[in-house]
Structure 1
Amino acid sequence: MLKTAFRMAVQTAGKSNSALGTFYRRLRSRLGSPKAITATAHKIARIFYKLWTTGADYTAPGMDYYEQRYRERMVNNLHKKA
């Protein structure tokens, strides 16, 4: 039942301008929709578990934050390859 709920949350997040939506769209273009849904649902489940166990509040980092971190990882990977 939670599996279905997380997958439904992915479909909603995939249409939003959030970090999770950007993550989903990036994976969908690279891996295909089924694997992207599974990976994003797993990410949502990890976030849910962390919030559930710590009792903390969730603050969404936003799409710009995710894009910035992605660019930094790409640059670092290119430096390692060079």
Structure 2
Amino acid sequence: MSELGHGFTRKFPSSKQFCCWCNIAPNTKISGGKRISSHVPHHQNNVGLIFRSITSSLANAKNQLGNFYRRIRSRAGGKAEVIATTHKVPEIFFAMVASQTPYNPEKVGIDEKVLLEKRITRYKRELERITGTHIEIGNTCVP
């Protein structure tokens, strides 16, 4: 808060503009409808550095932001997990400060248990499609 100053939410109409100011949002250059390049700007902002350091601690966190980080890392890898999660953290921070509400982890993302259940049903459907028979695991039966 000392880096941002008092009433910083009045300076930024949306969380997207706040993330852009923090140098967290990718600078996507589009010409003729095609993406030429996309990278995070090189000039540093102290607030952006603080959010990046917060994000690096989420790699082993057992919460929903940690789950989001690991899910993006498994899907995209490399810098994408850091950028995606670093972009999500200031959006949450901006929303909390602007609306003056406490942190609510249920609004952050999907719970790991729900993700696992979705994955199981997707694999059941795929297995059914391949074998052509109904699969019954536990008390549930996928039609």
TM-score tier, shorter chain, comes to 0.7 to 0.9
Q: Equivalent residue of 1:58, what SS? A: coil
Asked whether 1:38 is paired with 2:102, we answer no
Partner Cα separation in structure 1 for residue 95 and residue 77 of structure 2: 27
Structure 2: which 5+ residue stretches go unaligned? 1-45, 130-143
Asked whether 1:52 is paired with 2:100, we answer no
TM-score w.r.t. length of structure 2: 0.45
Bigger proportion of residues as helix: 1
Partner Cα separation in structure 2 for residue 18 and residue 29 of structure 1: 17
Structure 1: which 5+ residue stretches go unaligned? none
State the structure with more CA Rg.
2
Aligned-residue Cα RMSD (Å) equals 2.3
Q: Which residue of 1 aligns with 2:115?
A: 70
Partner Cα separation in structure 1 for residue 78 and residue 49 of structure 2: 15
How far 1:2 moved relative to its partner? 1.6
Bigger proportion of residues as strand: 2
Greater shift, 66-75 or 52-61, is seen at: 66-75
Partner Cα separation in structure 2 for residue 2 and residue 9 of structure 1: 11
Among all aligned residue pairs of Structure 1 and Structure 2, give the percentage whose two residues are the same amino acid: 28
Q: Which residue of 2 aligns with 1:21?
A: 66
Instruction: Flag as ranges the 4+ runs of structure 1 deviating above 4 A.
Output: 71-76
Partner Cα separation in structure 2 for residue 55 and residue 33 of structure 1: 34
